[in-house]
Chain A
Amino acid sequence: MTEPLLSLQGLSKSFGALRATDDVSLTVQPGEIHALIGPNGAGKSTLIQQISGGLSPDAGRIVFDGVDITALGAAARAQAGLARTFQISALAMEYTVLENAVLGAVGASGAVWRFFGPVMRGASVRVVAEAALERVGLANDARKRVSDLSHGQRRLLEVAVALTLRPKLFLMDEPMAGLGAEGSARMTVFLDALRAEAPILLVEHDMDAVFALADRISVLVAGRVIATGTPDQIRTDAQVRAAYLGEEAAP
């Protein structure tokens, strides 16, 4: 078995009496899409926050690419190769689409401590940014302000900025939300190809997308991983059907 790229080992996080994350262990292997599903309030966002560095766990370790990153901040984890996209877009709203993408390229290139050269004319960061926008289909909207974009377009821009980071792992929180049926279908095709570049830990509510894409699925209920397996295993798991899928997948 190959060494996992990301490994969560016994993560726990409580808010007062609420155990939002309860002894969670899971791995992401190179080349796979590992989907994390669970009903609302299961603690998916809290878990993602701990992986990306927004929250620190009460107990447990996070090992990424062979290094314990549990104590690192969000910026250092991004530098280490973790690219996150957000459920609720976290973009620089006053900037244009291109400026947001260039910001990603600047962050990845380490060329931020430059005070004189006009960054938007910087050939190398611009090429990276434009290529990423092209890939998600935002090239024609490059000059639009983010505040003028639709929710779906903002979601695409989140993905584009993540691409500019050339990460080792994508951490995607509901990339399909707000895209509509056609957009979801296109994003599904896009993510399917993306796993060859870097594995994806995917939190998603769109079950069609999850079962079409995922190599493995973990089901989170009340802070605990109740099952991990292939889509077929998860589909037939009695505990999962009872706890989660039953509510939505019932005929």
Chain B
Amino acid sequence: MQRETVLNTLVFLLLPAVAAAALVLDEPFTITLATRAAILALAAVGLNLALGLGGLVSLGHAVFFGLGGYAMGILASHAQSYVSLDLGLFTIEGTKSMPVIWLVAVVTSALAALLIGLLALRTAGVYFIMITLAFGQMFYYFAISWPAYGGEDGLSIYVRNDFPGLNTLDPIQFFALVFVLLAAVLWLMGRIEHSAFGLALGAARQNAVRVETVGLSPFRLRLVAFVISGAVTGLAGALFADLNRFVSPTMFSWQMSGEFIVFVVLGGIGRLYGPVVGACLFVLLEHMLSGVSEYWLIYLGAILLFVVLFARGGVVGALVGQGVRHD
């Protein structure tokens, strides 16, 4: 536990250290890379609550990532075209305000997670994976075939959205914003893990009968976890879209869901900082190896295979020197 705390602190400081170094060396692209890593880490931190603590292998978390992305894209596109958004019963104005966009992204993905969870959590194992995957594909093809917001081509937003008091187009300021959000969510997840809810959720993963025997419903515990998990991934989606100033159906793709699982497994399932390590490693490898070969994912596959076969606790587990999670 002690070593894991030290490691967590180092990982936590790594991203801002890289960004600060890049600022000094005047390498804005590296800052953008660090921002990308932090956003993907945030998405995977969300997944980790469902996957790591709850044991729910969701192959549909791209739904929430995409919804967050499109929440940003749709609101910002209406703001930049000065056309209000007609929702039938009423119309709303578009917005370029990040806090409002984040709120919409979080609420939308939480609602989607609630609906998907209500259906998918009635099943377990392979069926749960398949249902979440099916929902992912539904959203993906819907986004492709919906011409209003770019369809297959996606949707470009010309100027990054605003945050009060910051110039978000300055890479380091946007990075700082993203990093503060990541830190806040990590803090929150740490609290949840050690809360009464976290204890019960973890027990439901280990033995659902045990949880029922003490009078708790595993279904409700998992549903709440799935909703929180989806909301966090949705927030990451809004940030990801803002980073790229572009949204496309790719954010809904099952490959995206798969990447989130890879981040979690690579870093260490169920470990608070596992997804952060996994996402950073992924972005680093992507950056270094994609220059070597366009088939760089083969190398990633080999690394993942190694982790799954020989280091079940992921990179964090291997460095801390224990294979199994929890203290």
> Within the complex, what minimum Cβ distance (angstroms) separates A14 from chain B?
23
B196 adjacent to A92 (CB under 8 Å): no
A212 touches B (CB below 8 Å) = no
A94 adjacent to B206 (CB under 8 Å): yes
A119 adjacent to B217 (CB under 8 Å): no
**A120 partner residues in chain B, CB cutoff 8 A:** 194, 199
> Within the complex, what minimum Cβ distance (angstroms) separates B71 from chain A?
24
Docked pose: A161 CA to B218 CA in angstroms: 17
A74 touches B (CB below 8 Å) = yes
**B214 partner residues in chain A, CB cutoff 8 A:** 78, 103-104, 106-108, 161, 164-165
Contact status of A116 and B199, CB under 8 A, knowing A79-B215, A104-B214:
no
A244 touches B (CB below 8 Å) = no
**CB within 8 Å of B: which of A19-61?**
52-54
> Within the complex, what minimum Cβ distance (angstroms) separates B209 from chain A?
5
A75 adjacent to B216 (CB under 8 Å): yes
> Within the complex, what minimum Cβ distance (angstroms) separates B54 from chain A?
13
B215 adjacent to A107 (CB under 8 Å): yes
A92 adjacent to B206 (CB under 8 Å): yes
B191 touches A (CB below 8 Å) = yes
**B202 partner residues in chain A, CB cutoff 8 A:** 92, 94-95
Contact status of A90 and B210, CB under 8 A, knowing A103-B199, A113-B197, A125-B196:
yes
B198 touches A (CB below 8 Å) = yes
**CB within 8 Å of B: which of A106-132?**
106-108, 111-120, 122, 125
B200 adjacent to A112 (CB under 8 Å): yes
**CB within 8 Å of A: which of B203-254?**
203, 206-207, 209-218, 221, 224
Contact status of A103 and B192, CB under 8 A, knowing A75-B217, A94-B326:
no
Docked pose: A76 CA to B220 CA in angstroms: 13
Residue in B195, B202, B209, B218 whose Cβ sees the most chain A Cβ within 10 Å? B195
Docked pose: A161 CA to B213 CA in angstroms: 9
Docked pose: A54 CA to B326 CA in angstroms: 29
B203 adjacent to A95 (CB under 8 Å): yes
Contact status of A84 and B213, CB under 8 A, knowing A92-B207, A116-B191:
yes
Contact status of A116 and B195, CB under 8 A, knowing A92-B203, A95-B206:
yes
Q: Which residue of A lies closest to B206 (CB)?
A: A92
**A118 partner residues in chain B, CB cutoff 8 A:** 191, 194-195
B289 touches A (CB below 8 Å) = no
A93 touches B (CB below 8 Å) = yes
Docked pose: A95 CA to B217 CA in angstroms: 19
A99 touches B (CB below 8 Å) = yes
B203 adjacent to A112 (CB under 8 Å): no
Q: Which residue of A lies closest to B217 (CB)?
A: A75
Contact status of A115 and B195, CB under 8 A, knowing A91-B210, A95-B203:
yes
> Within the complex, what minimum Cβ distance (angstroms) separates B66 from chain A?
26
**A116 partner residues in chain B, CB cutoff 8 A:** 191-192, 195
B210 adjacent to A78 (CB under 8 Å): no
B324 touches A (CB below 8 Å) = yes
A90 adjacent to B195 (CB under 8 Å): no
B206 adjacent to A74 (CB under 8 Å): no
Docked pose: A73 CA to B206 CA in angstroms: 20
Docked pose: A84 CA to B213 CA in angstroms: 7
CB within 8 Å of A: which residues of B? 191-192, 194-200, 202-203, 206-207, 209-218, 221, 224, 324-326
Interchain Cβ contacts under 8 Å between A and B, 24 examples: A54-B209, A73-B212, A75-B212, A78-B215, A86-B209, A90-B210, A91-B207, A91-B210, A92-B206, A94-B202, A94-B206, A95-B203, A99-B199, A103-B200, A103-B203, A106-B199, A107-B214, A107-B216, A111-B196, A112-B200, A114-B195, A122-B196, A125-B196, A165-B215
